[in-house]
Amino acid sequence: MKKILSLVSLAAALFVLVACSTKSTSSDKWESIKEAGTLKVATSGTLYPQSYHDDDNNLTGYDVEIIKEIAKRLDLKVEFTEMGVDGMLSALNSGQVDVAGYSIEKDSANAKKFLYTDPHKYSFGSMIVRQSDDSGISSLEDLKGKKAAGASTTSYMKVAKKFGAELVIYDNVTNDVYLQDVANGRTDVILNDYYLQSMAVKALPDIKVKVLEGVYYNPSQANFAIKLGNTTLQEKMNDALADMKEDGTLTELSEKFFAGQDVSQEKDYDFQTIDVSDVVIE
């Protein structure tokens, strides 16, 4: 399994909406999707363990295999396009793809511009720091003046900015780049999804970083984004996800890709919630 994979690029902004109900409009493309027989999906391809390439260079991961199973149940083939976070919503709007492996925070400017599937992953925020000195961080308040690495549009970077960190912006780079930069002091911290971070650290044990224990925040949900108006596709994907949850498929996929952990089940996390609705990253 390839261990050099992107951590931050796609785990972006994990506060998301449960799919909202609207009437079908002329933007509903289900009939054309069904006629073509193909579901077009944007995915990272570098987000271990949700969307990445295995040792045989096959695209796989939790999100990828969920989409494949949904398509199978809808009698569709899947055509994946790999891209960074910043291009996914544009690709949805342009019609280049039908679905994006992208979650948007509840109060963001994009919250009312897209539809969403029901959540397939539940998590919370954490921080990666240096093993030697915890990067001088023992609380969120200690982020002030620290160099925080991440993609520009994520809610995690908004949390970092809110607490006074200096943002170091990366594009769709791989885990080893992020983690090595923290280890060698180019940056100090990475704020992101706990499960993704714990898996990344385990996958790259020679890099001297760790998940900071006990400093967690912002319980979150992850889902797939769909173009506004495409309500039939939204409904059909939600039906498939509900069936997959009921028959155990989601749990099975989660345990496969998250080392026995079931991220498909919502848990009652007692972590602080940081409101970043007022934070703007230019």
CATH architecture group of domain 125-218: 3-Layer(aba) Sandwich (3.40)
Write out the DSSP string of the chain. -----BSSSSS-----PPPPP----TT--HHHHHHHTEEEEEE-S-BTTTBEE-TT--EESHHHHHHHHHHHHTT-EEEEEE--HHHHHHHHHHTS-SEES----TTSTTTTSEEEPPPSEEEEEEEEEETTTGGG-SSGGGGTT-EEEE-TT-HHHHHHHHTTPEEEE--S--HHHHHHHHHTTS--EEEEEHHHHHHHHHH-TTS-EEEPTT--EEEEEE--EEETT-HHHHHHHHHHHHHHHHTTHHHHHHHHHTTT--TTS------B----TT----
Tokens for 236, please give them: 């059909």
pTM: 0.81
Same fold, 30-121+221-257 and 125-218: yes
Query: Quick check: 70 and 64 in contact, CB under 8 A?
Result: no
Domain ranges of the chain: 30-121+221-257, 125-218
Spell out the CATH class of 30-121+221-257: alpha beta
Q: What is the mean pLDDT of the chain?
A: 88
pLDDT (tens digit per residue) in 158-204: 999 999 999 999 887 788 999 999 999 999 999 999 999 999 999 99
Most confident of 25-39, 110-124, 222-236, 263-277: 222-236
Q: What are phi and psi of 146, to 5 degrees?
A: -80, 155
**Peptide linkage before 49 cis (omega within 30 of 0):** yes
pLDDT of 84-102, one tens digit each? 877 898 999 999 999 999 8
Place of tokens 């409904």: 235
Q: What is the pLDDT of residue 69?
A: 98
